[in-house]
Chains A and B, each alone.
Chain A
């Protein structure tokens, strides 16, 4: 689960991490007011759940309160498309207005899961900023990574190694070590997957300040962190994805014309792949998960077909335990409800295939029963071509 910059900073403050003075605003008038109170120049930062905002024009400097109001009007209500959002971008409903600070040095500090080495890691760079990924490739000597594990936490000597690597002055070493100790403890206690401060800046008056902060929490751990549930923001999901999540379905909209409904992420991806193999384009990824119920199948089918771009659909359900008559019933129920007119190819494997087929073919609706995976894909692509 991702949270906004302003929320991440709210977590960092009680840990003793200094953050810029700022105000969260949702209207241009509020931005005007905030700019007056904070005293310009101020930085307006679009609050979206993705990085790359700076390069996309989502972080702007205002020299006067009036300029702050004007820039806020431009940003609020717009969709920000960054290198990390995907083509549709994300809606901007809030801005963090912060007092501009003179920065002497900018570092990069991140705590993350290192999946390959199966460990936690602290990664720091002597130079922070937006070009950090390119820098990690062109100047790897600027970066240092130290592994740690959740049982032992980050050791003081490890924090010191990183502090000296950053070439901090002796007076700042202790502060940096304390900061790292606090945020690594926070990371472990709250089941984070990522905590990134970029830049962690040294201000002109010698303070270590988190100019930007990102946090990602492990979704699987949320049941043991009830205090986190109120932080999730639905506005960053599109409507279909939101609806799907409510029913335990995993739905991601894409831009093709063949809707897919499958049980299992791997099989769902393979279904999208085989559609492409035969010249079609999938309209979505949809995994209905393991515990397939008639209701879930029905909802999934409705969600699938509420995407207007869908010209034909392919249902590919391979169940061991799943009964094909159950799947057929769920699909037919939804199809009647939405007055299905578009062609739907159905491929089922599992118990009661004969009953399942009977239900589909007897429904009077445009279902075509496919004998195998490849035929199912060919038929679905064929229908989609015809519909165009």
Chain B
């Protein structure tokens, strides 16, 4: 079944006429994604890649009824693009943009909450339900449909994991990049919850890294709910040098958390299968799934 996006999903591209958006929209169309329109202020009424362009998200939503929007706009316009999508009633917003200021993201998140919209990203390659829809910039050709759900904070490391899984005969139901920024939208917990009730997904692979506490939140969730499917995790950054830091507030507010080892320990406690060698993500997952049959 996959989560969040499937072959029926109607996709709007914010910033469509820009260089990056044009390149990736072309790739999405080639993959079979149902792009329905684009938005670029000032270019409303034009056609681009065979798609109608609108001046505002509001107009595009009224005319084309998209389900999800993907955002390719410059960083200082990123938060507003997210807010505009949320205000126009879109329930899923995917923001590829890297470099959005932190305070802007705090502002955008309160808009998302107010309008009940979900965000993937920012600073993400997007998400893909192989064989159905690609809403992002990942290489479609390494993916194949199958039973493994992926939730990752990374970009190319996600591709590495997907590549290995595909080589091991394990396709993917949906692979979601949650983004690398300190403030992002949907994280491990929300997506694990969606994978839980997805019939196509038989196992979930988490790809985490140092910093923040998304993995710790996932561990608490998994412990509390008795998750019905096997969950594996690779956490990057065991060798990462402790960051040069300034000031005490961060350490006081967040406690001495955020190291790879701490995340690994918390997840292991919650029953997650920890993958130590990042070249064996595919192999480890196959072992777990063949053990179940």
A49 B246 Cβ-Cβ under 8 A: yes
Residue of B nearest to A196 (CB): B247
Residue of B nearest to A219 (CB): B99
A221 B106 Cβ-Cβ under 8 A: no
A320 to B276: give the CA distance in the assembly, Å. 25
In the complex with contacts A273-B236, A274-B278, A374-B279, A216-B156 CB distance below 8 A:
no
Residues of B within 8 A of A373 (CB): 160, 164, 278-279
Q: Which of A121, A220, A320 has a CB less than 8 Å from the CB of B253? A: A121
Residue of A nearest to B140 (CB): A320
Q: Does B45 make an interface contact (CB < 8 A)? A: no
Residues of B within 8 A of A307 (CB): none
For residue B259, give the distance in angstroms from its CB to the closest CB of chain A.
12
| Per-residue interface assignment for chain B, residues 87 to 101, with 1 indicating a CB less than 8 Å from any chain A CB and 0 otherwise | 000000000001111
Q: Which of B159, B239, B252, B278 has a CB less than 8 Å from the CB of A136? A: B252
Q: Does B183 make an interface contact (CB < 8 A)? A: yes
- Segment of A97-105, A108-116, A333-341 engaged in the interface with chain B: A108-116
- Segment of B32-40, B193-201, B208-216, B218-226 engaged in the interface with chain A: B208-216
A194 B277 Cβ-Cβ under 8 A: no
For B75, B110, B152, B157, the residue with the greatest tally of chain A CB atoms inside 10 Å of its CB is B157
Q: Does A182 make an interface contact (CB < 8 A)? A: no
For residue B21, give the distance in angstroms from its CB to the closest CB of chain A.
14
Q: Which of B155, B163, B279 has a CB less than 8 Å from the CB of A349? A: B163
For residue A302, give the distance in angstroms from its CB to the closest CB of chain B.
22
Q: Does A321 make an interface contact (CB < 8 A)? A: yes
| Per-residue interface assignment for chain B, residues 136 to 148, with 1 indicating a CB less than 8 Å from any chain A CB and 0 otherwise | 0111001000000
Q: Does B76 make an interface contact (CB < 8 A)? A: yes
A89 to B118: give the CA distance in the assembly, Å. 43
Residues of B within 8 A of A320 (CB): 137-139, 142, 159
In the complex with contacts A318-B160, A320-B142, A267-B240 CB distance below 8 A:
no
Q: Does A310 make an interface contact (CB < 8 A)? A: no
Residues of B within 8 A of A108 (CB): 248
| Per-residue interface assignment for chain B, residues 258 to 278, with 1 indicating a CB less than 8 Å from any chain A CB and 0 otherwise | 000000000000000000111
B102 A132 Cβ-Cβ under 8 A: no
Residues of B within 8 A of A150 (CB): 103, 106-107
Q: Which of A285, A350, A377 has a CB less than 8 Å from the CB of B240? A: A285
A321 to B244: give the CA distance in the assembly, Å. 33
B244 A50 Cβ-Cβ under 8 A: yes
B109 A118 Cβ-Cβ under 8 A: yes
A273 B278 Cβ-Cβ under 8 A: yes
| Per-residue interface assignment for chain A, residues 116 to 130, with 1 indicating a CB less than 8 Å from any chain B CB and 0 otherwise | 101111010000000
A276 to B152: give the CA distance in the assembly, Å. 22
Which A residues between 115 and 158 are near B, CB-CB below 8 angstroms? 115-116, 118-121, 123, 132-133, 136, 143, 145, 149-151
Residues of B within 8 A of A191 (CB): 101-103
A265 B180 Cβ-Cβ under 8 A: yes
A112 B157 Cβ-Cβ under 8 A: no
Q: Is the interface of A mostly helix, strand, loop or mixed?
A: mixed
Q: Does B234 make an interface contact (CB < 8 A)? A: yes
B183 A118 Cβ-Cβ under 8 A: yes
For residue A257, give the distance in angstroms from its CB to the closest CB of chain B.
13
Q: Does B51 make an interface contact (CB < 8 A)? A: no
Q: Which of B76, B139, B160, B182 has a CB less than 8 Å from the CB of A270? A: B160
For A2, A113, A223, A262, the residue with the greatest tally of chain B CB atoms inside 10 Å of its CB is A113
Residue of B nearest to A85 (CB): B244
Q: Does B254 make an interface contact (CB < 8 A)? A: yes
For A2, A272, A273, the residue with the greatest tally of chain B CB atoms inside 10 Å of its CB is A273
Number of A residues whose C-beta is below 8 Å from B?
A: 70
A123 to B249: give the CA distance in the assembly, Å. 7
A252 to B246: give the CA distance in the assembly, Å. 17
Residues of B within 8 A of A350 (CB): 139
B279 A123 Cβ-Cβ under 8 A: no
Residues of B within 8 A of A84 (CB): 244-246
For residue B129, give the distance in angstroms from its CB to the closest CB of chain A.
17
B209 A266 Cβ-Cβ under 8 A: yes
For residue A289, give the distance in angstroms from its CB to the closest CB of chain B.
9
Residue of A nearest to B109 (CB): A118
A84 to B163: give the CA distance in the assembly, Å. 39
Q: Which of B137, B138, B152, B237 has a CB less than 8 Å from the CB of A269? A: B237
Q: Which of B98, B247, B280 has a CB less than 8 Å from the CB of A194? A: B247
In the complex with contacts A267-B157, A270-B278, A110-B238 CB distance below 8 A:
no
| Per-residue interface assignment for chain A, residues 184 to 202, with 1 indicating a CB less than 8 Å from any chain B CB and 0 otherwise | 0000100101101010000
A196 B139 Cβ-Cβ under 8 A: no
Q: Assuming A274-B279, A349-B163, what are 12 further A-B pairs, CB within 8 angstroms?
A: A84-B244, A113-B102, A115-B254, A116-B213, A132-B248, A220-B102, A262-B156, A265-B209, A266-B209, A266-B236, A320-B137, A320-B142
Closest CB pairs A-B (n = 8): A320-B139, A266-B154, A264-B156, A266-B157, A374-B279, A221-B101, A112-B249, A110-B249
Interface residues of A (CB under 8 A from B): 2, 49-51, 84-86, 108, 110-116, 118-121, 123, 132-133, 136, 143, 145, 149-151, 188, 191, 193-194, 196, 198, 214, 216, 218, 220-221, 223-224, 252, 254, 262-267, 269-270, 272-277, 282, 285, 290, 318-321, 349-350, 372-374, 377
Interface residues of B (CB under 8 A from A): 23, 75-76, 98-104, 106-107, 109-110, 137-139, 142, 152-160, 163-164, 180, 182-183, 207, 209-210, 212-213, 234, 236-242, 244-254, 276-280
Q: List 5 A-B contacts (CB under 8 A).
A: A50-B246, A115-B182, A266-B180, A269-B209, A273-B278
